[in-house]
Structure 1
Amino acid sequence: MVILITGGAGFIGSHLSEQLLQQGHQVVCIDNLNEYIYCSALKRENLSTLAQYDNFIFIKGDIRDKEALQQLLVDYQCELVIHLAAYAGVRPSVMEPEKFFEINVNGTLAVLEAMRKAGVRRMIMASSSSVYGNSTARQFKETDAADQPISPYAASKRAAELVAYSYHSLHQFDITCLRLFTVFGPRQRPEMAIRKFIERIQAEQPIDVYGDGQSIRNYTYISDVVNAFLKAMDKPTGFNVYNIAGPTTTSLLETIEVIEKQVGKQSQLTYKPEQAGDMRQTAADISKAQQELGYFPQVEFEEGIGRVIDWMMRESSKQLLVACK
């Protein structure tokens, strides 16, 4: 299959591209390699891994350029679009909401419109657990209301889902939205909590804890996320939404304790007020994904943390992580 992946040079995109290439698919990656959230050298490092495959094509470009995107879809006879390109991060979105809506909403619209004109009707898109807002449900279900986002990032991801649904309704697109719960693993962005905690504990530097440390996250290891996309490829669904999450939830303080144990050092904690836009908890009911996609997460949180630490130790020898802090 010929697959166009938007944002394919990033954290999730590079892992998914690599797996698809190994399975023999042709992957056409479009990414603008911007440095808004993090250093583009990390994305270029990801691309150097993917470039080893003969069935990989990289195009530097912007998803908002509908005409160029349409031409790519036609020229390479793409059969599926996996839409990952987005601005990510709750806190940056509070500071610059316009940028998030421009890319996450208008960018998604541009991709869908290019697909319509090119005659491509299948999309799998990355959404986010943030769309649930500060739900008090013990576990979030896809049928729960997602109409009270508490950050511009969350609002932009929910809006992208709704735009996608309109293309399903009007143009009979087959679209699967995967609501991803706090993805972590090798190649993750420098500002993400787990990577920052590991770096600070290793360097014996203090960690800022916002709130009381009891906020809950349903961390999902990157290989489980990749597997979810592969499962979704096998099941065109009309339009459907699935929660994709790891097997357990973990509090902020428990997360730090797991890292302390594996690094072999104690952390220094500095407590600060909660930050606007941060969710109190994320906890997924994944029964729908289990039943309809056959998705079952395999990597426990502690095992995933160990893999991230090992990766960071290997990469530190290249000085790339240091240079991109």
Structure 2
Amino acid sequence: MLKKRDKRYKRSKMQSNTKIGITTTVPVEIILASGAIPVDINNIFITDVDPGNLVDKAEKAGFPQNTCSWIKGLYQTIISQNIEKVLSPVWGDCSNSFALSEILSECGIEVIEFQYPFDRNIKRLKESFKELYDRFDVSEKDVLKKHDDLQKVRKELKTIDDLTIKGNISGKDNHIYLVSSSDFEGNPDLFLKKIKNRPNIIKKESDDNHRIGIIGVPPIFTNFFDVLEELGFSVVYNEIPAEFSMIKSLDKGFYEKYLEYSYPYGMRFRLHTIKKEIKRRRLKGIIHYTQCFCYRQIEDILLRKNIDIPILTIEGDRPCEIDSRSRMRLENFWELL
């Protein structure tokens, strides 16, 4: 059964240090400008000591088994962490986001909704963001200043990504640093210190034939990158984490960054960036990770039709170590390359 809170949370004024749960990359500058703390629920879920147990609890609450495990993990993490407010895009993320928002509202959680314009219309994007200015009680000036403040963090993330291309930082560490930029771990200043003080470990680059990119939503397998490194792959491109970090649009303004951020706007737009990065990073192959019961699996058709280097599609379901069949397919892909 769904867990209901003692009372329905009515729309309330945003308080400083209020935790705002987010389910994907959102205009985090608005949250930070209000004094609230962004919390990426995905990262809390997947780094839990037992994320599989969170999925089990969501199923006991009524979520169907044939629903994306990320959605179930998000729900249960929000409940378990007592997150009272969630900022969720109803367009531009997951096809299940709207239903999840309704469930959370039924549980007494205040859901703040917005949407990315599918046609990437800057006027509509500004209108959507300006509604959030009112909701978070901030001015455009406050938000633009916060955007400027975050530039130094994003520049450091760009340095990390450049070092990954050279083979000096592993694909796993690259993934962790970039995916954490969705919320900057709640405190951009501390996050900047953390990434600047990262261990200066030089990773030995694998041979050129095994430089690969990971396309698609972050893999739910708990040892995915460990297995890839063990097999000899050199991951030099993590597509979606790189999009979260917005490092490709450092020279763009606030609104333009969220138009260049490709994830909300469909595979056709994403392909422009993917093709450029294949050349720039000298990729020899791509692993397309797809999530079980996710509509984005269909996008594999477009990817294969438009990309001319070898592609391996790997599907995951629940948070666990990679299964033996998928590992064998990875070994065969390594041989192919």
For normalisation by structure 1, the TM-score amounts to 0.30
Larger strand proportion of the pair:
1
Larger helix proportion of the pair:
2
